[in-house]
Amino acid sequence: MERRAGRLGVGIIGAGHVGPVLGAALAGAGHAIVGISAVSERSRERADAILPGAPVLEIPVIVERSELVILAVPDAELPSLVAGLAATGSWQPGQIVLHTAPGFGVEVLAPATAAGAIPLAVHPALAFTGTSLDIARLQETYFAVTAPAPVLPIGQALVVEMGGEPVVVAEEDRAAYAEAIATASTFSRAIVEQATGILSGIGFENPGSYLSSLVRSAVDNALSRASAPAAGPDVLLDGRDDPLDPLG
């Protein structure tokens, strides 16, 4: 497969809500999709919808053929995946290995780094739907980037190519970062579900639509206050993101 100079062969491990979308964004920047792993029928359908024509391959084959490997798997699965591939000698010197788990920095990629791979931790702060709608949403999304200083520009450049805004997060701050992301997404979802449940109970046929403008404006106002340089003690903290999809 021919590629323009400076373009990478990208392999994606995990066809949940995140991996195919990031792959599509990179493909739009001129990179070539080498393959994607997809276990369930649902994940295969998602991969085909967002990355039509991308080969569905076994994980070792993807790693062998890729210059950039995206590990879009849940936090709990990441350490064993990285270590298992290291045990089989799959990682290659100079290969870029990028994971999207919010709770880890690059230390979890140590087995790949020991083999000469370039480690990157890149998490997009977006509540993914797993549809093409997410590709456009990346244009206004911040990405937490953690990497060793010499290769940090690689992670930042990849984020920019996907249309996002990179923000550097230190290795020791990744746990706190993940807590903030989980708090924002869980709280937001729970409040909306509670409010729509109450409206349904008094006969509203479309409570989600009814609350849409209210919730969006309230969150936007809270985020604006939180971003203000001279924010006072009455600032309401809120956020946007969703833990990685467990499917695929």
CATH code at 156? 3.40.50.720
In a domain, 214, yes or no: no
In a domain, 243, yes or no: no
10-residue block means of pLDDT along the chain (248 residues)? 67 96 97 95 94 96 98 96 97 98 97 98 95 93 97 98 97 96 86 91 91 83 75 37 38
Enclosing domain of residue 42 = 9-170
pLDDT in tens, 172-206: 999 999 999 999 888 788 888 999 999 999 999 99
d(CA 170, CA 46): 33
d(CA 54, CA 21): 13
In a domain, 238, yes or no: no
- Give the chain's domain count: 1
At 193, the amino acid letter reads E
Angle at 96 between CA 239 and CA 141, to 5 degrees: 20
In a domain, 225, yes or no: no
pLDDT at site 242: 36
In a domain, 32, yes or no: yes
pLDDT in tens, 24-61: 999 999 999 999 999 899 999 999 999 999 999 999 99
In a domain, 182, yes or no: no
In a domain, 17, yes or no: yes
Strand order in the sheet with 96-99: 32-37, 9-13, 68-71, 96-99, 118-124, 142-146, 165-168
Sign for the pseudo-dihedral over CA of 74, 75, 79, 80:
negative
In a domain, 206, yes or no: no
